[in-house]
A and B are shown apart, each in its own frame.
Chain A
Amino acid sequence: MTKASLRVAVAILLGFAALPLWLAPVGAQRVSDRAKQIGIKLRCMCGNCSMTAGECSHPGGEFSGPCQAWALPALQQIDGLLTQGKTEQQVMDAFVAQYGTTVYAEPPKSGFSLVAWVMPTAYLVVGALLVIFVISRWLKKNPSEVRAGSAPAKAVSPELLERARKLAAQETEE
């Protein structure tokens, strides 16, 4: 073996040896499905992704999975707490005590956070009432008109036909 080929061989070997460094040695530790389920209710606090701990793939990270910085230790901590016999609520409380309310992936259904849950329903109810009010107000303005469910128009009136023609012409004029 020549000196040059020896150098190449050593370089290749070193290259392969360095491969594990290139692919960072993190992350494939197993966590229970239960921990993942609870982890979905917790936000990954690594600061670089906005995913939940249970679903964290840490985009841009060296390992596509729960990030070493936060999600993975958190899932392992959940597993530890579950092993100690803690309930889901107690696990959540432990994380809130440690990280504050920012750790919630979804707002809790109590206190000020309840507002977040009530608002969409309020929008829908208030909006629906408003629409019904507007429709009924408009309907009252046309008492002579036949309401829905009554007999259909017997025939096309000349006025209606003319209007229909105008609408069709209008539609194609652009």
Chain B
Amino acid sequence: MDVFGSFALLLAFVCAAYALVGGIAAILTRHPLLIKSARQAGMATCGLIFLATFCLEYLFFTDNFSIAYVASHSNRDLSSFYKIAALWSGMEGSLLFWSFLLAVYVLSVLITYRNKNGELMPYVGVVMAGVQLFFLTLSNFVESPFKALAAAGPDGVMSFVTRPDGNGLNALLQYPEMVIHPPNLYSGYTGFTIPFAFALGALLARYPGEKWIHLTRKWTMIAWMFQSCGILLGAHWAYAVLGWGGYWGWDPVENASLLPWLTGTAFLHSVMMQEKRGMMKVWNVWLVFTTFLLCIMGTFLTRSGVVSSVHAFAQSNIGPWFVAFMGITLAVCLGAYLKNSDYLKSENHLDSMISRESSFLFNNLLFLVACLAVLSGTLFPVFSEWFTGNRISVGAPYFNIVNIPIGLLILFLTGVGPLLAWRKTSKESLKRNFGWPLLIGVVVSAVAFALGFRAFFSVVCLILCVFVASTILLEFYRGAKVIRARSGASYPACAIDLTMRNTRRYGGYIIHMGMVFVFIGLAGAAFNRDVQKSMRVGDTMQIGTYTLMLQGADSKPEQNYTAQRMLVEALSDNKPVMMLFPEKRRFAGNNQENGTMVAIYSTWKEDLYVVFAGIDPETREPVIHAFLNPLVKWIWFGGVVVVFGTIVALLPNRRSVLVLAPAQQPAAAQPMPHPVTSSVALREGHD
């Protein structure tokens, strides 16, 4: 099966090369047969990548320890569930998995548009084939996942060997979320290839203005949704497994996943300027290019060893390949832009400083500043080594100081931006849209101050969250009120009706609401507390309103590990709340790795987070480390709301209507099929 997989991978490389070269020839000659054959080569590439991936999984499931990659990342006792995840747990497999997910996207695009956009698709196909070719080059010639295991015999001669058992999967990866976190994140990374291919293809083909944006909106949102999911799942995994009480450590690899998310989010906003007003075309094209390049850079950072990270794969010589690919990509993008930049001229200009357009500009500015701040902080150790010879580390404290104010400004704009009108916003409109939210924000700040909250950024964050949530709820209320006046249905039913009439706008609001929940959760971090204690059975420790009592310990053998569990009873006001079972795990396999399993009692107010740290060397007693982390549940809930909002935004509108408020001053001598106010007509929704 390994030979079969290798061969499939090699054939995929050949097909991708043909799709690229044949595609270029097809564009130059416009020969229909060449166009068709290049497209079909693209489809064949995808099929062959699927086959190679299936072969590698088969080798995992059959415990074929004659293959180096399988021997390094699996063992006999590893459950089937984690044998799937073993595919992307190392360098070689993760590169193949990248190709696999990209192939899913590419095939979907090729099938969806097989009879559409005949002018544009050959260009898009060429760009996609180029990206596939790069990853297939790596998988075939640099980091092949099908390499046979070889070892030197007593005589020093290398020969193929088969191990009786493998090293096993990294203990930190043996957690259910690790089976879904990387696929989500990779789906985000690879998904941004599609808008990139359309943007570059449209630029090369000088394809009509906004068409590529209409075509790629769904793909961009899907990629963005996966990226968001991947980031949040990764944070949750870190929270539940690493046992340090936090969820985001500003590790270079975490940062690498955040960078394209930031630019992708900026793009999803600024793209509306192009759709509605024909503006920012150059900016949007470069935002897509940058997002794609950051996806590649994220993949590069994880694998090259340029920056040290707890997540990084083993160091290898793969770095120069990525640098070369990024260089070539940048050169092609730059060349295409210089050649066809005339075609990207704006159709309109700004009418007012206080308008939706300018809010988008500032929104983009903040996302870009956040992105650059994270990027320069992540790469600063490398720069400092180049310039001074000393490697200066940049850790979490720096990123927190730098990014918290930027994050709060973005949160502020999340509330303000959607309520500003396109073109210009009147004073009356400002008063109407922001009066109540501002008042509520001021009241909340007064209450927070009176209650003794003094952590500045957290309090500001909570106030802004209340302000933004108020603006969003007010928007739903106003729209629902108009529908209710006509239909008489209940407010929730009207709000759903409203959302389904303009899914993009109200889906966007739901996403914003999800982000508000995430920020509420982040604000809680300033109030975290922790206590650590060596405990005997019957001992108690106090944290917040909780009393923790060690009730006992046991050992639980499982298929691939043995868990040493502590039985900790949580009491609140002397009443039992929950029995918690924090664990230390010793995994099977050659490496005999250790893992932690945190026990969490989660409420909307706070998480009681209990870690069995190990055995105290002096007292020989188990050490329990308990954390009280306020509001963390809101982060995960916010993530779910963001995903839900994205799905809503992806749905088609129920019907095309312009609504929403009764006319204040109907246009003279103009028969109006629907009542439309000036502000509504101008505001036109979030999208």
Contact = CB atoms under 8 A, between A and B. Distances in A.
B209 interface: no
Given A123-B373, A172-B652, A65 B613 contact: yes
Contacts of B275: 170
A60 B397 contact: no
B353 A62 contact: no
Nearest to B666: A155
Interface in B360-382: 361-362, 365, 368-369, 372-373, 376-377, 380-381
Contacts of A139: 349-353
A106 B394 contact: yes
Contact of A65 (B252, B398, B625, B657): B625
Interface in A68-121: 100-108, 111-113, 115-117, 119-120
A135 B594 contact: no
A131 interface: yes
Contacts of A56: 244
Interface stretch (B184-192, B316-324, B335-343, B420-428): B420-428
A131 B361 contact: yes
Contacts of B402: 117, 120
Interface in A117-174: 117, 119-120, 123-124, 127-128, 130-131, 134-135, 138-139, 141-142, 145-158, 160-161, 164-165, 167-172, 174
Interface residues of B, number: 105
Contacts of B426: 148-153
B406 A102 contact: no
A35 interface: no
B392 A26 contact: no
B681 A28 contact: no
Among A27, A28, A123, A124, which residue has the most Cβ atoms of chain B within 10 A? A28
Contacts of A147: 352-353, 424
A168 B406 contact: no
Nearest to B659: A168
A174 to B, nearest CB: 6
Nearest to A127: B365
B97 to A, nearest CB: 22
A116 B653 contact: no
B615 interface: yes
Interface string B212-223: 001001100000
Interface in B590-629: 593-596, 611-620, 623, 625
A19 B426 CA distance: 73
B119 interface: no
Contact of B369 (A123, A169, A170): A123
B276 interface: yes
Interface residues of A, number: 82
Contacts of A170: 275
Nearest to A160: B681
B429 interface: yes
Nearest to A62: B594
B246 interface: yes
Contact of B623 (A27, A111, A116, A152): A27
A133 B451 CA distance: 43
Interface stretch (B52-60, B87-95, B151-159, B668-676): B668-676
B380 to A, nearest CB: 5
Interface stretch (B383-391, B464-472, B635-643): B383-391
B249 interface: yes
B532 A65 contact: yes
Contact of B249 (A24, A50, A157): A50
B111 interface: no
Interface in A14-68: 19-20, 22-29, 40-41, 43, 48-52, 55-57, 59-65
B395 A105 contact: yes
Interface of A: 19-20, 22-29, 40-41, 43, 48-52, 55-57, 59-65, 100-108, 111-113, 115-117, 119-120, 123-124, 127-128, 130-131, 134-135, 138-139, 141-142, 145-158, 160-161, 164-165, 167-172, 174
Which 8 pairs between the two chains have the least Cβ-Cβ distance?
Answer: A152-B426, A57-B244, A63-B614, A105-B395, A138-B350, A148-B354, A25-B617, A28-B616
10 contacts: A20-B620, A50-B395, A57-B611, A59-B172, A104-B392, A148-B352, A148-B354, A153-B678, A160-B681, A171-B687
Given A59-B172, A107-B380, A168-B658, 12 more contacts: A28-B618, A50-B310, A101-B393, A112-B388, A116-B392, A117-B398, A134-B361, A135-B358, A149-B354, A150-B426, A157-B667, A158-B670
